[in-house]
């Protein structure tokens, strides 16, 4: 029997102290530290003096953030009763969807968030996304001044759920140096897909490591949206009217996939498997790729890299110009009517006239409103950037993807089909059939 065994209490005092201290520290530090930060989303945001505070997660960094900060300061100067807490939300726009989903499911969400166009329908499943129908009817808002593509992008089930944030579209940028080196004439506005394929082939030079064109091959959205102008051109569509079946299962889809497959077979296309599509544009900028379909956002990059480029509209099958617009949205969330109203006021300001020009020029985007496009400020900006006028004009005939929550279930199988075409791993018919089957099955389960 051990002598002098010291009494040990049930829970040793030391560990209790340590444990208690740490937990208290963690819990206490929490509110302490939150007092230092801005904090997000308090209950109804209306202070005693009537100042409404709204929170915006803009998902922007660098240039975009700087511009927004300026615009926010501008707005707050003119509207003393509204305070805007603008931050990136801790994410870049690419990760915003995951962040918002988490926020919505926990009941703590901002008032405005930057949501990609194809995602807004999914996010809008949540009853906490604001309904802006009554606001858009207000004539002072001039809702019709927005381009149709921009309006469609924020309209779910016939009602606006946010404001347009950014519009763009797809045109083809071509590298003048590469064309000259290959002795190929530069493309013209009214070219066909056959022209495109042939040009790509003649530009491709394996010994020099030069590709005719490039296409993202990660199966993601940047890979998929490029095929839609081809499908629309060939007479098809993405889904049928009630969203129950895909509408590219016939000749339209086959023709589009065959064209892409031809590029893959010719090995004239660089399949960019790395997510983010940056490599593809780097190759173009470094004069190793002849042409690539891209949006106006890429132009500042070309300018920085001193690439000699030109821009032409997308090629067509039938001569009717068609392209796709990929608008992004400022989705508005419902944290009470006072905050929704304040958010609408802010967003109206943000998308009006001079602000629109500022935002669009720094983002490498296009004006959201017809009136902005005609303004002197925008005209000046367009004239200083090569190719921007082509994009600007294309807005007139750009179409958008449908804002339905089941869109991702169509996009993913189609993405796989395109990748198969780029890597030449299947016949167009087989790839199409599989994609259609998978997509329709997914649509059927709703």
Partner 1 sequence: MKRLFGETPDAWGFVLPSVVIILGLSIVPMIWSLILSMQSSDLVTPARWLGLTNYRVLSHDPAFRAAVIHTLVYTVLFVPLSIAGGLGLALMLNRRIRFIGLYRTMVFVPFVISAAAQGVLFSFIFDAHFGIANAILSWFGVGPQGFFADSNQALLLLVLIGLWSGLGFCVVVYLAGLQDIQQELLEAAAIDGARAWGTFRYVVWPALRPVTIFLAIWETLQALQLFDLVFVTTRGGPLESTTVIVFFVWNQAFQLFNAGYGAAAAYVLAFTLLIVSIGLRFARRNQTEEVGG
Partner 2 sequence: MTMQLMGREPRRRFLPFSPWHLVLLPVSLIFALPLFWLALSSFMTNAQINRFPPTIIPNSLHLDGYRYVLNNALFPRWFLNSVIVSVVVVFGNLVFGSLAGYAFARMRFRGSKLLLTLMLGTLVIPFQITMIPTFLLMKYLGVIDTLGALIVPSLVTPFAVFLLRQFFLSLPREIEEAAWMDGCSRLRTLWVIVLPLARPALGTVAVLTFLTTWNDLAWPLIAINNDHNYTLQLGLTTFQGQHRTQWAAVMAGNMITVLPVLIAFLAAQRTFIQSLTSSGVKG
**Where on the chain is the footprint of partner 1 (CB under 8 A)?**
8, 10-12, 15-16, 18-19, 22, 97-98, 101-102, 104-105, 122-123, 125-128, 209, 211, 217-220, 270-271, 273-275, 279, 283, 405, 408-409, 412, 416, 419-420, 423, 425, 442
- Give the Å distances, CA to CA, from 303 to 156, 183, 388: 37, 24, 12
Cα–Cα distance for residue pair 377/167, rounded to 1 Å: 18
Question: Which of helix, strand or coil describes residue 61?
Answer: coil
Closest Cα to residue 404, out of 153, 134, 131, 98? 153
Question: Which of helix, strand or coil describes residue 287?
Answer: coil
Among 16, 47, 61, 444, binds partner 2 (CB under 8 A): 61
Question: Which of helix, strand or coil describes residue 325?
Answer: coil
Cα–Cα distance for residue pair 81/98, rounded to 1 Å: 32
Least CB distance to partner 1 at residue 378 (A): 35
Contacts with partner 2, 280-319, as mask; x by CB under 8 A: --xx-xx-x--------xx-xx--xx--------------
| Window 87 to 126, contacts with partner 2 (CB under 8 A) | 87-95, 98-99, 102, 105-108, 110
Asked whether 267 and 204 are in contact (CB, 8 A), the reply is yes
Which of partner 1, partner 2, none has residue 236 at its interface (CB below 5 to 8 Å by kind)? none
Among 16, 20, 24, 34, binds partner 2 (CB under 8 A): 34
| Window 205 to 264, contacts with partner 2 (CB under 8 A) | none
Pair of tokens at residue 401: 């993807």
Among 24, 42, 63, 192, binds partner 2 (CB under 8 A): 63
Among 16, 27, 66, 73, binds partner 2 (CB under 8 A): 27
Q: How many residues line the site for partner 2 (CB under 8 A)?
A: 65
Asked whether 302 and 173 are in contact (CB, 8 A), the reply is yes
Cα–Cα distance for residue pair 374/367, rounded to 1 Å: 9
What letter would DSSP give residue 95? G
Closest Cα to residue 329, out of 120, 134, 68, 90? 120
Least CB distance to partner 1 at residue 201 (A): 17
Backbone angles phi, psi at 184, to 5 degrees: -105, 135
Least CB distance to partner 2 at residue 28 (A): 9
Q: Check residue 60 for interaction with partner 2 (CB under 8 A).
A: yes
Pair of tokens at residue 440: 């329709």
The contact set with partner 2 (CB under 8 A) reads 2-6, 8, 12, 14-15, 18-19, 22, 25-27, 29-31, 33-34, 36-40, 55, 57, 59-65, 87-95, 98-99, 102, 105-108, 110, 278-279, 282-283, 285-286, 288, 297-298, 300-301, 304-305, 364
């Amino acid at each position: 029997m051990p002598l002098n065994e010291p009494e040990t209490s049930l829970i040793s005092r030391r560990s209790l102290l340590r444990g208690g201290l740490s937990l208290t520290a963690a819990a206490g530090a929490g509110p302490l530290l939150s007092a230092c930060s801005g904090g997000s989303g308090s209950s109804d945001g209306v202070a005693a003096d009537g100042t409404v505070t709204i929170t915006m997660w803009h998902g922007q960094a660098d240039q975009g953030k700087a511009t927004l900060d300026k615009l926010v300061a501008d707005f707050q100067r003119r509207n003393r009763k509204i305070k805007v807490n603008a931050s990136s939300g801790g994410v870049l726009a690419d990760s915003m969807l995951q962040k918002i989903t988490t926020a919505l499911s926990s009941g703590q969400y901002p008032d405005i968030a930057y949501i990609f166009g194809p995602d807004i329908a999914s996010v809008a499943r949540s009853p906490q996304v604001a309904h802006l129908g009554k606001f858009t009817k207000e004539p002072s808002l001039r809702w019709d001044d927005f381009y149709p593509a921009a309006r469609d992008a924020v309209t779910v089930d016939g009602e606006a759920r946010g404001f347009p944030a950014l519009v763009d579209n797809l045109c083809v940028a071509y590298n003048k140096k590469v064309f000259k080196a290959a002795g190929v004439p530069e493309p013209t506005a009214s070219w066909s897909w056959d022209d495109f394929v042939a040009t790509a082939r003649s530009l491709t030079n394996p010994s020099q490591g030069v590709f005719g064109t490039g296409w993202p091959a990660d199966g993601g959205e940047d890979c998929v949206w490029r095929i839609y102008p081809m499908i629309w051109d060939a007479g098809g569509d993405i889904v049928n009217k009630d969203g129950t079946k895909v509408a590219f299962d016939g000749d339209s889809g086959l023709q589009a996939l065959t064209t892409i497959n031809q590029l893959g077979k010719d090995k004239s296309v660089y399949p960019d498997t790395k997510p983010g599509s940056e490599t593809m544009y780097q190759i173009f900028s470094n004069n190793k790729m002849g042409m690539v379909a891209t949006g106006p956002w890429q132009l500042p990059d070309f300018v920085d890299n001193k690439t000699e480029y030109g821009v032409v509209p997308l090629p067509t099958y039938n001569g009717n110009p068609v392209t796709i617009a990929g608008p992004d949205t400022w989705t508005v969330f419902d944290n009470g009517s006072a905050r929704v109203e304040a958010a609408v006021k802010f967003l109206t300001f943000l998308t009006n006239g001079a602000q629109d020009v500022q935002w669009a020029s720094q983002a490498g985007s296009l004006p959201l409103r017809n009136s902005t496009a005609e303004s002197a400020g925008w005209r000046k900006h367009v004239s200083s950037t090569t190719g921007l006028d082509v994009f600007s004009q294309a807005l007139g005939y750009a179409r958008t993807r449908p804002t339905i929550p089941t869109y991702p279930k169509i996009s993913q199988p189609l993405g796989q089909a395109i990748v198969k075409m780029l890597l030449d791993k299947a016949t167009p018919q087989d790839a199409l059939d599989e994609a259609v089957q998978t997509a329709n099955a997914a649509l059927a389960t709703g």
